[in-house]
Amino acid sequence: MKLKYAATGLAVVLALAGCQRTSYNPYQNSAQQLPPLQAQPVPTVQSGQLPDPTTTAPGQFPAAPASAPVAATDAVPATAQDVTKESMVGNWRVASGGSNCDMFLTLTNLGSGSRGGTRGCAGELTGMGSWEVAGKQVLLKDRNGNTIGRVYKTAEARFDGTTNGGQPISLSR
């Protein structure tokens, strides 16, 4: 019986010995290995009034995105049906410029829109990175937030429109 307890005790000791931390920490004692930093001179601080951005010379500030946000005056076909953001989520088959590809739309926020993308598309649609619903239209945007195309709901599970370059686009499920 004592042999059984001795064997059990030995097994417990060996198991606990295997629980020691043996990982390497490259940051251990690193403060002792680096020399102290030398003080650096600080230049004088200037103060003054910034120029009015509305009167500054062109080229001094970055250019605004190529396409402006959709205005209420943009022409929406009279036959366009109501669309919700939730109804757009998922995979769409795209026909554009005589070829077919896939478009994926999510509800993950990206800038002012939601994340989206294409696979196997050509032309302007290769740069699609986001999308958003604006009234009765769906705006397709590049990775910089510029609108590259617009589609409108024309039937259940079908959207039609054009790219900024005038190429027809059709989305269907």
Q: Between 172 and 42, name the one with better pLDDT.
A: 172
Query: Is the model's pLDDT at 134 over the cut of 80?
Result: yes
- Asked whether 108 and 115 are in contact (CB, 8 A), the reply is yes
| pLDDT greater than 90 at residue 95 | yes
Within the chain, strands assigned E span: 90-96, 99-110, 113-119, 128-134, 137-142, 147-155, 158-163, 168-172
What pLDDT, on the 0 to 100 scale, is given for residue 71? 40
pLDDT tens readout for residues 64-93: 555 544 443 357 888 889 999 999 999 999
CA 123-101-80 angle, to 5 degrees, is 85
pLDDT of residue 115: 93
For residue 135, give Cα distances in angstroms to 11, 69, 72, 106, 128.
72, 12, 9, 18, 20
| 25-66 residue pLDDT tens | 655 655 556 677 777 777 777 778 877 766 656 666 566 555
Residues composing the chain: 173
Q: What residue segments make up the domains of the chain, in order of their start?
A: 85-172
- pTM attached to this predicted model: 0.57
CB contact set of 93 (below 8 Å; sequence gap of 6+): 100, 102, 103, 171, 172, 173
Percentage of the chain lying above the pLDDT 90 cut: 42
Give the burial class of 57: count Cβ atoms within 10 A of its Cβ; 0-12 exposed, 13-18 middle, 19 or more buried: exposed
Structure tokens at 29: 């004692």
Distance (Å, whole) CA 148 – CA 96 = 13
Topology of domain 85-172, CATH? Lipocalin (2.40.128)
Structure token digits, residue 162: 């054009």
pLDDT digits (tens, 9 = 90+) for 6-15: 667 767 666 6
